[in-house]
Amino acid sequence: KGLRTHGGNHRKTLHRPHDVWKLDPRATVNGHPVGLLWASPDCRHHSKAKGGRPVSGAVRDLAWVIAHWAEQVRPRLIMLENVEEFRQWGPLTADNRPDKDLAGSTFRQWL
């Protein structure tokens, strides 16, 4: 529903209802410069509102897509929206919980 509504309001915008991991950034922009990359990776894993439930690695690692797109199409500006706990992104323990001793290490690598 969201893409349909957005498409109705922004008819000249290219919409790609695909798995973002499978899109080729360079092919998607078709040689056009990218002025703004607006990213809102899923925050369910990082948010304190999740109630302690682990989520899938694909959801947890969506921020890496931003790094991939940045490397491929070199946008002039990147805006990222997420929860404050995103800064604590780190590896998981054997029981699929955030490793408190390594909190923030993946975030620093991502930066």
6-49 pLDDT, tens digit per residue, is 889 999 888 888 888 889 999 999 999 999 999 888 777 777 77
The pLDDT of residue 35 is 97
**How far apart are alpha carbons 83 and 91 in whole angstroms?**
18
Torsion 48-49-51-52 (CA) sign: negative
107 confidence band (pLDDT: 50, 70, 90): very high
pTM, two decimal places: 0.76
